[in-house]
Structure 1
Amino acid sequence: MLQLCSSGGHVVASATLYGGTHALLTHFLPRTCNITTTFVDITDHEEVKNAIVEIRTKVLFFESISNPTLTKTLSPMVLSPARLSADVVVHSMSKFICGGADVVAGAVCGPASLLNSMMDLHQGSLMLLGPSMNAKVAFELSERIPHLGLRMKEHCLRAMEYATRMKKMGLRVVYPGLEDHPQHHLLKSMANKGYGFGGLLCVDKESEEKANRLMHHWKNSSQFGLIAVSLGYYETLMSCSGSSTSSELNSEEKALAGAGEDKWSQFERAISRTMDSIL
């Protein structure tokens, strides 16, 4: 973002973003760099078009699939934005790509001209700000990437199984693999064949209290899963997104992002449990 935008620059971004990213665009960049952001409904192409400011707008920023009701950490096995004409793709390698919840890493993928400019000795944001990956972390990731495809298939298979069974129990489940999801067919047309619809599902419990009660019941009464947010782990992870990963948003921003009243329980379906372990 800092490499593409100078002082006075402008960003058009989806209203549904990870809380930390939303805080960066809403508070930090305007205060420190004079870079402003207009948030839009990214599915409304006319609204996106109207938000673009000639000359000033340098970045169109969005997540697929978006936070907070689901997640952007599908991994490139499920969805490959570069194949869908994205100019720059940022991956959180701490999540499904890592698979062990034990490293902090990310990857910026884009044209050589951009990446070279980011490493420029005098003006490169990577060169001057120093977000370099630890060599040991890089090695560990290189050892895990070869079996990413196998892991993602199993994550997605189990997420689909749990989404289906929870729906049959009468719970309101948000998962793009379900045919009643409003963007099921859209994701199906975009996703890489054979890898499902992601390893995370969301349950609407109507209130933050009920969402947290459900998670604590499963954790403490059934010894099922962990209440944590480092997705892609080999144990099932659960969180109430509105009071965790989207806690930087105020009530109005949460409503626009789809987090409502902190009512969502997110479940990252892990590969280490049998499918009938709880349901």
Structure 2
Amino acid sequence: MKKHWRIETQAIQEGFTPKDGDPRILPIYQSTTYKFSSAEHVAKLFDLEVGGHFYTRLSNPTAEGFEVKIAAMEGGVAAMATSSGQAASTIAVMNICRAGQHVVAASTLYGGTYSLFANTFPKMGIEVTFVDPEADEATICAAFRPETRCLFGETIGNPGLNILDFEKFSRIAKKMQVPLIIDNTFPTPYLCRPFEHGADIVVHSATKYIDGHATSVGGVIVDSGNFDWGCGKYPEMTEPDESYHGLKYLETFGKLAYIVKARVQLMRDIGPCPAPMNAFLFNLGLETLPLRMQRHSENALAMAKYLEKHEAVSWVNYPGLESHKSYERAKKYLPKGASGVLTFGIKGGAAAGKKFMESCQLVALVVHVGDARSCVLHPASTTHRQLSEEQQIASGVSPDLIRLSVGIEHIDDLIEDVNQALLASQK
């Protein structure tokens, strides 16, 4: 019987336990529907009186295997997979926030998340106030309103690479009686488990390190089960849901209330469900996640140290460097490594940066991070181009910033390629 498995073992063994004669590996249940012999049983499924699968938009055995595994690895009580990381962030907020209510978020967010919060949520009547995560506690608290429903941040900002002060943000969230929602995409649960530092809900873009091979788009929400939904601010958790004959989520499902509500309300009505094939690949990716995150972190640190000494580089930003402003937090919250993404500036600015990217031969110019293969990008003209220059700066994106996602190739080959491209950029 399993007892307190370590995360490396959870990555292999959690989520699916075959019986005699079953497949050893979690199967791909490529089916939209499931057969029953009792109409009464189907009715109980629809009334949430029993658990089980009846339509893949709501749940699927392959997705469930992935959800159980990632929940265990994060130390949560339950998880819900989605069709993308954007869908995970959207549902995580909408599950507890409606028109007329408010969110406080760190300004140093991934550009797609920033755009969701700055442009789309307001159109839905949900207002968002962005705060500098380095601001003092009183300043951040001043952004809260009576109608604020959550505090949102990233473990490692993308692409600013600032590390969140979990202690401060958790303290603020508890003081304001709102859940702290953390995007843990860059560290993954192998490098950091936000629940251990006061977070209440975690979201991932599974497209990145969880998949790890650039094959599948998806996301996931994980709930710690620790937040007190009965504090008086969240009637949607405590009052009857007439679409389920007056069921009360907190009363009926206890610590599972948040994920159950997200699934049976928002996934039911909006439908951003993961494809079974993608869920299978995410589960497979988790099996090697600890090994890959070790190599990503080792390679990125070695590359950052190399770039710090390169004559063509004006600055390097990586939390694992002693020169980084978040270095002490990296030691505290990410003792196993600071993940595989770094940023740097090239002497010569944007023009030299463009030439550098086009001169790389091994490192690929792609709109992606978290792949086993190394890749490079200029965020200001790509992932963050929808933002104004002021918004880009607030998100940690300067015009000369180059983002390098260091893969798991041999570090000497990577350094040789980066060096020749840097030399070419200066001609």
1:112-147 Cα deviation digits (max 9, x unpaired): 211011123xxx112211111111111122222121
Q: How many residues align?
A: 267
Corresponding residue of 1:127: 268
Residue in structure 1 matched with residue 158 of structure 2 by the alignment? 67
The residue number in structure 1 matching 2:284 is: 143
1:86 corresponds to 2:199: yes
Aligned to 2:4: none
Map of 2:298 onto structure 1: 157
| CA displacement at 1:166 relative to structure 2 | 0.9
2 CA distance for matches of 1:276 and 1:28?
43
Give TM-score, length-normalised by structure 1. 0.91
Distance 1:27 1:158 in 2: 36
Shift of 1:43: 2.0
Please say if 1:224 is aligned against 2:341.
no
Give deviations 1:160-198, integer Å, cap 9, x for gaps.
Answer: 11100111114211001000101101121011x3x3111
Which residue of the partner structure matches residue 114 of structure 2?
Answer: 22
Q: CA–CA distance in 1 between the matches of 2:192 and 2:345?
A: 25
The counterpart of 1:189, out of the listed 310, 323, 332, is 332
> Does 2:258 align with 1:114?
yes
Q: Does structure 1 conserve the Cα–Cα contact (< 8 Å) formed by 2:369 and 2:375?
A: yes
What amino acid maps onto 1:198 in structure 2? Answer: S
The 3-state SS of whatever aligns with 2:351 is helix
1:35 corresponds, among 121, 126, 134, to 126
Per-residue deviation at 1:208? 2.5
Residue 271 (str. 1) matches residue 408 (str. 2):
yes
More helix by share: 2
Query: Structure 2: 5+ residue runs without aligned partners?
Result: 1-92, 163-184, 226-255, 420-427
Q: State the shift of 1:254 in Å.
A: 1.2
- Of 181, 186, 189, the residue aligned with 1:76 is 189
Q: Find the residue that maps to 2:355 and give its secondary structure.
A: helix
Which residue of the partner structure matches residue 389 of structure 2? 251
> Matches of 2:191 and 2:352 in 1, distance apart?
31
Deviation at 1:209, TM superposition (A): 2.3
Q: Could you tell me whether the CA contact under 8 Å between 1:212 and 1:265 is conserved in 2? A: no
Partners of 2:105 and 2:411 lie apart in 1 by 39
Alpha-carbon deviation of 1:69? 2.5
- Whether the 8 Å contact between 1:158 and 1:275 is mirrored in structure 2 is no
Asked if the contact 2:111–2:395 (Cα under 8 Å) also holds between the matched residues in 1, the reply is: no
Conservation of the 8 A alpha-carbon contact between 1:68 and 1:246: no
List structure 1 runs of 4+ shifted beyond 6 angstroms.
none
For the residue of structure 2 that corresponds to 1:182, the secondary structure is coil
Q: For the Cα contact (< 8 Å) 2:297–2:339, is it kept in 1?
A: yes
Q: CA offset at residue 276 of structure 1?
A: 4.1
Q: Is the 8 A contact 2:380 2:392 kept in 1?
A: yes
- Identify the residue that residue 355 of structure 2 maps to in structure 1: 213
Shift of 1:13: 0.8
TM-score, normalized by length of structure 2? Answer: 0.60
Q: Distance in 2 between matches of 1:78 and 1:247?
A: 30
Identical residues among aligned pairs (%): 28
Which whole-Å CA distance do the structure 1 matches of 2:395 and 2:278 have between them?
Answer: 33
Letter in 1 for 2:109: L
Q: Residue in 1 aligned with 2:48?
A: none
User: Who is 2:143 aligned against?
Assistant: 51
SS of the aligned residue for 1:151 comes to: helix
> Per-residue deviation at 1:234?
2.0
Contact 1:99 1:233 in 2 (8 A): yes
Answer yes or no: is the 8 Å Cα contact 1:11–1:61 preserved in 2: yes
Distance (Å, rounded) in 1 between the aligned partners of 2:308 and 2:402: 14
CA RMSD of aligned residues (A): 1.6
